[in-house]
Amino acid sequence: MIKNAQDMRVELREKMRGGTGAAQIKHIFEQQELKGKCRLFATITLEPGCSIGPHPHDSEEEVYYILKGRAKVVDDGEERELQPGDAVLTGGGASHSIANIGEETLELLAVILTY
């Protein structure tokens, strides 16, 4: 399957998971388009000062891969600063949050796999 960028659904979520500002989610592939156990395959864009609040991942795991910008991630209580090329994996009941701490847009690839 080939999918052009203009055919990908984009949604805006205000105060996602109790965070600040808005998160723009561009669904690269929708769950029903995938045969594997994948609940989310998207890019997420956060403007400066915006965040996604803390949330757990039970019976699933989420990968964040930083494409652009600077992020502060709290993963199962551990706080780290991430930059392009860095990644985080959260699952097994652990929780995480992410915030744009830079002066430019933060863009990341987000994948949620279920088990």
Q: Percent helix, strand, coil in the chain (nearest 5)? A: 10, 60, 35
Query: How confident is the model at residue 15, as a pLDDT?
Result: 98
CATH 1.10.10.10 is held by the domain 9-114: no
- The domains of the chain are located at 9-114
Query: How confident is the model at residue 103, as a pLDDT?
Result: 98
Query: How confident is the model at residue 99, as a pLDDT?
Result: 98
Query: How confident is the model at residue 41, as a pLDDT?
Result: 98
Summarize pLDDT for 58-98 with one digit per residue, the tens. Answer: 999 999 999 999 999 999 999 999 999 999 999 999 999 99
Contact 26, 45 (CB under 8 A): yes
Strand-strand pairing, 22-29 and 38-46 = antiparallel
Summarize pLDDT for 9-59 with one digit per residue, the tens. Answer: 999 999 999 999 999 999 999 999 999 999 999 999 999 999 999 999 999
